[in-house]
Amino acid sequence: MPNINDYRDIVGQDIIDELHILGEKLQDKTVQNVNSTAVGGGVAEILTRMVPLLKQLGVNARWDVIKGNEKFFNITKKIHNALHGVNEDISSEDLEYFLEVNRENVEEISSFDDIIFVHDPQPIALIEKKKDIGKKWIWRCHIDFTDPQPDVMNFLKSYIEKYDSAVFSAPAFSRDISIPQILISPSIDPLSDKNKELMPEIIYSVLERFEVDRDRPVVTQISRFDYLKDPLGVIEVYDKVKKYIDIQLVLAGGGATDDPEGIKVLEEVRSKAADDPDIHVILLPPGSDIEINALQRGSTVILQKSLKEGFGLTVAEALWKAKPVIASAVGGISLQIKHKYSGILTHSIDGTSHYLKQLLNEPEYAQKLAVNGKEHIKNNFLITRHICDYLLLFLSLYHKDDVIYL
């Protein structure tokens, strides 16, 4: 794990000084993060980096993962999909079971700290404990809330409103709720194995290991195998472009312990890819950070054809590596890409295919987009900015009406 001061070369001394000053003001506080998976997906990715860095700044941070069986995670996946606007049938028994598992988890958590920072809907009902223990509670939503199924949203709303504040990733996700809402977008860690610079030999050896030919263009999407990431749509894009340009496609990702749908999606992707030797469907085990880093760096163009997206860390990861990105104009992706300036935003398979051909045919234009994209990520979506926002949020819980002097 890098030292917080190692980020100085990237973001400058002033930002590091600011983090130390804010951290000092929270020395006596413990922040307890709670989510539903230790590996896989963006939330785990961020917490893995965030918790040790907060500790280095003197904030006592910890991270608990709730437990659930397959039935629970099938229900939470349905809730997750419904919040993303997918029509899901969720029964009152499902919701009752969801609450029951949350209550079991409350009993299992051995102690509660000063600030309980709950991530996403899976553990949202832990808040029922607030009436017994008090403390400060924050709910952090990482998902795309533009068009949620109303009944599921209303069910959650009664829990959200018990928190002291709610954090969303993009302005479009704010809701009509009675508690303060704060906009904090996610971030990537430029010094993690996932994002650090790699020697060309490492990139080449990973491409070789996955039998990807580096003399022909490589188009890549890194994602959990999830319908909302539209991997099947990506294959259609590939088919359309392959008629004109001899590309290879990499679809790489793993699962998350709280996402039981992954295996089914992976099977469909494999069957659609059939035996095309230029489509590489790669199932990555947890901890494949260097592999993902190398695949991103070894690619000609990165796609993120999500149908919904809370933020899309994979977009920030690719842009940080100065790679041209074509991504859907959904959710938090629009915060990261300004169309035709720092990447390309698309709305369809045809649109994505059109721009993919263009970027492959015009590498100088593609590189210009990528360089602008990297600058945008550097200025807005690195972990130092994210930590600063969180520290200010924690302080604001105790100093509601005060001005905080640095």
HSE-up of residue 145 (Cα within 13 Å, Cβ side): 23
Residues 6+ apart with CB under 8 A from 147: 84, 85
Using CB under 6 A as the binding rule, whether residue 311 contacts ligand UDP is answered as: yes
Using CB under 6 A as the binding rule, whether residue 282 contacts ligand UDP is answered as: no
x/- contact string, 372-401, with ligand UDP (CB under 6 A)? ------------------------------
The Cα 206–Cα 367 span in angstroms is 23
Q: Which of 64, 189, 258, 317 binds ligand UDP (CB under 6 A)?
A: 317
Nearest distance, CB of residue 189 and ligand UDP, angstroms: 10
Kindly identify the residues of this chain, within the stretch 140-199, that bind ligand UDP according to CB under 6 A: 194
Using CB under 6 A as the binding rule, whether residue 120 contacts ligand UDP is answered as: no
The Cα 183–Cα 168 span in angstroms is 5
Using CB under 6 A as the binding rule, whether residue 312 contacts ligand UDP is answered as: yes
Nearest distance, CB of residue 45 and ligand UDP, angstroms: 4
x/- contact string, 1-40, with ligand UDP (CB under 6 A)? ----------------------------------------
30-35, strands of its sheet edge to edge: 60-65, 30-35, 115-119, 136-140, 165-168, 181-183
Using CB under 6 A as the binding rule, whether residue 254 contacts ligand UDP is answered as: yes
Using CB under 6 A as the binding rule, whether residue 126 contacts ligand UDP is answered as: no
218-222, strands of its sheet edge to edge: 279-283, 248-253, 218-222, 301-304, 325-328, 344-346
Using CB under 6 A as the binding rule, whether residue 262 contacts ligand UDP is answered as: no
Nearest in space to 236 (alpha carbons), one of 305, 179, 337, 171: 305
Q: Please identify, using beta-carbon distances, which residue of 113 and 291 lies nearer to ligand UDP.
A: 291
Q: Please identify, using beta-carbon distances, which residue of 313 and 330 lies nearer to ligand UDP.
A: 313
DSSP codes, 104-144: HHHHH-----SEEEEESSTTGGGGGGHHHH--EEEEE--S-
Using CB under 6 A as the binding rule, whether residue 344 contacts ligand UDP is answered as: no
- Token representation of residue 372: 């602008």
Residues pairing with 154 in the sheet:
none
Whether the Cβ atoms of residue 126 and residue 132 lie closer than 8 Å to each other: no
Per CB under 6 A, the segment of 3-11, 96-104, 312-320, 376-384 that binds ligand UDP is 312-320
Q: Considering all CA atoms of the chain, what is the largest pairwise distance in Å, rounded to the nearest integer?
A: 65
Per CB under 6 A, the segment of 166-174, 208-216, 233-241, 308-316 that binds ligand UDP is 308-316
The Cα 185–Cα 168 span in angstroms is 7
Tell me, by CB under 6 A, how many residues bind ligand UDP. Answer: 17
Q: Which of 42, 148, 190, 231 binds ligand UDP (CB under 6 A)?
A: 42
Apex CA 123: angle with CA 121 and CA 125, to 5°? 90
Q: Which of 19, 284, 325, 349 binds ligand UDP (CB under 6 A)?
A: 284
Q: CA 143: distance to chain centroid?
A: 9
Q: Please identify, using beta-carbon distances, which residue of 26 and 185 lies nearer to ligand UDP.
A: 185
Using CB under 6 A as the binding rule, whether residue 253 contacts ligand UDP is answered as: yes
Using CB under 6 A as the binding rule, whether residue 45 contacts ligand UDP is answered as: yes
Nearest distance, CB of residue 308 and ligand UDP, angstroms: 9
Q: Is the dihedral of CA 6, 7, 8, 9 positive or negative?
A: positive
Return the amino acid letter for 261. Answer: E
What is residue 222's three-state secondary structure?
A: strand
The Cα 311–Cα 198 span in angstroms is 25
Q: Please identify, using beta-carbon distances, which residue of 186 and 324 lies nearer to ligand UDP.
A: 186
Nearest distance, CB of residue 122 and ligand UDP, angstroms: 13
Nearest distance, CB of residue 72 and ligand UDP, angstroms: 19
Q: Please identify, using beta-carbon distances, which residue of 195 and 352 lies nearer to ligand UDP.
A: 195
Q: Which residues bind ligand UDP (CB under 6 A)?
A: 41-42, 45, 194, 222-224, 253-254, 284, 288, 292, 311-314, 317
